[in-house]
Structure 1
Amino acid sequence: MSDPTAFRAVRIRNDEAGYRGRIETMAADALTPGEILVKVAWSSVNYKDALAGTGKGKILRHYPLNGGIDLAGHVVASTDRAFREGDEVLCTGSGLSEIRDGGYAEYARLDARWTMPLPADLSLRESMILGTAGFTAALALLRMQDNRQSPDLGPIAITGASGGVGQLAIDIFSRAGYKVHAISGKVDHFGLLQSLGAAECIDRHQFAFSGKPMDSARFGGALDNVGGPMLAGLLPLVAPYGNVALCGNAGGIAFDGTVMPFIIRGVSLLGIASAGTARDLRERIWQHLGSDWKPRHLDRIATDEVTLDQLPAVFERMLAGQSFGRTLVRVGGA
């Protein structure tokens, strides 16, 4: 097909008229370069998208760009022989809405290196319930297991458990055979977290740390979405040779700790940076997410579905801490 000459996109600009993200009409020849032209069906909303869309975080490296760090859709044209017209594909992170036009548009051009074929047992919609959040949770599990994490070390603590990454992590880790202890300050959500697979829910506000450099081992490992004092408090509670995977900083970018958990118990602190994950790891992760790690409760985790026009209000709610679960963006279809 010929390139579309008029389609809708949430275009983010920062110029003499100020910072703004709004729907504009554009043509495919204005998109950032790439080997694959995709008709976007679905995207999702992540905290990073809210920061980019409102200008409350420095996300974009240059302007203008279309927002949206996730997308899934159908190939309409490709100069890469690995992809053909009609193929279902997805892309998460990989420079979308940072250095490349993202998924909040009816069409996107993708770099073939970071374009993933849709796993056979996932729909396009399901892949975007997962999106960067599910990919991050699965990357944490993969890195922990590559570093010898196993269920027999003890339960996995998941902090920020009520958020998108947290809910998906509960489902993914429990499906992979781990006992999960969910830590959240939103006690009214404990019933849902248990239904997703949490064996125990812990009120963050009641979770007291001793302040000791070492304490009795309580967890086999942890996935920490919070950082700050939470990370400092978790490390002394991890069993010998357990792993703490760190993927967020909602509680702060600094933490006050000691070397004792690392040199006495051999605890490992693993950084989880999903945006720049190498392709071979991406392939392994999406293979898992389409099979043995596929969450069993995706529709329960997808709590909202919006259109491009509704995104500004969604961004504001998310930044105000009023979002819950995963928000899907219906861009162009099923």
Structure 2
Amino acid sequence: MLSNLASIAQNTQSDNIRMIDIAQLHESQANYFEMQRIEEFAYTILGQGGIKDNLVVRPLENGGYEIVSGHRRRAAVQYLLDHGENISRLLPCLIQDYADEDAMMLDLILLNVSARQLSDQELWQSYENLDTILKRKKEAGEKFGRVREKIAEILGVSPSQVGKMQNVDRNAIDPIKDAVASGAISISTANVIAQLNEEQQEELAAGDLSKIKPREIKQAAAPKVDTSSNFFEGSDVTEPAYAPPHSPANDAEQEPVRPVPENGKKHSQEFNKLLNWAQSLTHEQIDFLCDSGWYNNTIEGYLIAAAKEADFSKIQIDNLLHGLQKAFCKKSKANVESILQYW
């Protein structure tokens, strides 16, 4: 899937480059990457004596070429020409042929991602395109593992970040998604909003989304999944319950769950039920809860609220949260450690 990018990099060092007049180079309608600081970029190009890195283009049926990579370079040279600077109208271009629009779009994303730090707006639009393309490829029989991991690999972000975008994609109402696409709110903010019910989301969308702060709405987040031990019942999840691997190193780092103190016997049934649930999560359940954004609000809130409701002692609550920490230890989530700081 990434062979085109490697080929382009290799061809950049070869003679497979044509000098094409700037008037024949046309912006792609598919390009959504921002073109900022063109004037500054233009004089950098002028100072280095012209374009040093080739553009990537594809032929158009009615003549000329569509730019796949190099929109800013073309815009910068055009700026210099418009201002009477002495620079060549001919730009070095690698001409690529693509089997379909998906192949072209993949190159457009890959080449831009490799050359810049993406804004949340660009990251979201890249995610949407990649999610559609990769699902089509998977349906066509192409094998490349999980879509989430492949998107993370292409965009150079963590699977957890992709999980946030998937949560927004699946659970946010359209105005919230549109706000991310326009740059009005960040992906992190949209991820928190996506945990609210539809009515709450619509209420927020009716106001000024750009002023919303995630910490102000976290407490209003409404659970959307059943967090009981069998909430995946009926699905195709078949892997066994998760248990941390046994090793002396693990034993040194993490004590076994301590027994419920004698003065907590009357609550031992409720305690053990919650403790067993925390320790019985499967790998897929842990991935879903951590990477889809449910962990902070649903899991932490559920356990702490349940502990208070049962009037557990400080030691019992510590034991309960330690059980959760044990279940999540392989995920190395900072938030797991932060739970203990509440007490």
TM beyond 0.5: no
Q: Which has the higher helix share?
A: 2
TM-score interval for Structure 1 and Structure 2 normalised by the shorter chain = under 0.3
Higher relative contact order (CA 8 A, sep 6+): 1
Q: TM-score, normalised by structure 2?
A: 0.26
TM-score by length of 1: 0.27
Higher fraction of strand:
1
